[in-house]
Structure 1
């Protein structure tokens, strides 16, 4: 397994079937021989802040589910995502130093128009899996998330100075939806961590959550944790309720 490119490398057999998605995630994770230190792999210069498209979650059942899994992984020494830090990243836009307030307004206007016809939907969160440097839940179905990613990628492409923030027509997307609950903080053999995750998968609990809002956030890294402020909240299917902070 290479250390670059999307993870999993291959798309699941179905982007709508939760079982196919979970199987694809797990098979890719189970093949990993070495885990990377997330904080070294994901370079983040001191003081950097960037605009990202996020789905954020505070559903009590999901928060409890994540906390239960984090307790089961505590002996591995991973860095747990805090209860108010659960999210799905839909895409990046650019550093705050490179994106102006006027461009933010353009982003929000574009996203409001494109998402006004998108109806709220439900996601299934779980089971637990992982990547080269993190532990995360599978999420399903992917189809509405892929649609959101494509729509927001178009908006980001109108203002973003970073061409890697957008999809390229005709090129397979690198986007792999997931919801992280912990980050690996040292380079190490993967076997023990994979075994710990496998033990937690024996209880096939899954949580259903509602997605009705997309957020444009200002993301920062504080120590070994990601934190953000919401710049705009865009309600799916209801552009009139959108707000810019």
Structure 2
């Protein structure tokens, strides 16, 4: 199986049903014969940084779930995602060498105005599954994530028409997931798939999504790290001293 194209290739029968999403993820993962080295497949030039739209998480419930699964997967061929770096990638934007500060400021302003109509929502994280080069949780429902992806890509394209396309996949290729480990060598898949299968009854966790982040992403050894350029609240929430609080004037 090649590493090109979205994974899973097929969309789930329902983008709102947790069981359908988890089943689709697992059926695709269970059919993999060969795993790829993530760090070779995902090329990243030394010193490169790029802008991305992220959801980030510091939920104690999610951190506990991720740690439990990471501790059970003891293979040397896995590089764990640091527990303070759990994230869900919504869309890429472009390299920091080609995107200007003015473009980013315009993008943040546009996205902020459009995200006022998007209400905070909950996500179910789990069960555990994987891809051709990573171990990751299924995430559901997809519907609010697909809406965010569409809004952010449209805002990015409108703010940066000089770019041929934002970095990353289009809506038809977007597969929401949350990774907890990256495979660091090419190898047969059966052993890892068996280990992941034994953990599928662990969890799930529920997290609240009330903002999105525009980050400057870098690769630090065998992990991804970032600095937040802007945190944009959803709906009637406001950023205050790094925290998010509900704005009574915007509440229902």
Contact 1:232 1:243 in 2 (8 A): no
Q: 1:165: how far off?
A: 3.1
- Distance (whole Å) between structure 2 residues aligned to residue 35 and residue 107 of structure 1: 37
1:215 aligns with 2:219: no
Give the aligned partner of residue 74 of structure 1.
Answer: 74
Equivalent residue runs for 1:48-197 within 5 Å: 48-158=48-158, 159=160, 161-163=163-165, 165=167, 173-197=172-196
Task: Kindly state the Cα deviation for residue 74 of structure 1 after the two structures are TM-superposed.
Answer: 1.3
CA distance in 2, matches of 1:83, 1:243: 23
Aligned 8 A contact 1:157 1:166 in 2:
no
Which of 218, 222, 231 does residue 233 from structure 1 map onto? Answer: 231
Q: Structure 2: 5+ residue runs without aligned partners? A: 243-252
State which drifts further: 235-244 or 120-129. Answer: 235-244
Runs of 4+ in 1 over 6 A off after TM superposition: none
Contact 2:55 2:87 in 1 (8 A): yes
The RMSD of aligned alpha carbons is 1.8
How many residue pairs get aligned? The number is: 240
Contact 1:129 1:138 in 2 (8 A): yes
Q: Secondary structure at the match of 2:150?
A: helix
Q: Deviations over 1:66-109 (max 9, x none)?
A: 01000111135300000111000000000001111100111101
TM-score, normalised to structure 1's length? 0.93
Deviation at 1:113, TM superposition (A): 1.2
| Structure 1 residues 162 and 38: CA distance shift in structure 2, 3 A | farther
CA distances 1:46-82 after superposition (whole Å, capped 9, x unpaired): 0000000000000011001001000111135300000
1:242 CA displacement: 8.5
Q: Which residue of 1 aligns with 2:20?
A: 20
Tell whether the 8 Å contact from 2:3 to 2:41 is kept in structure 1 after alignment: no
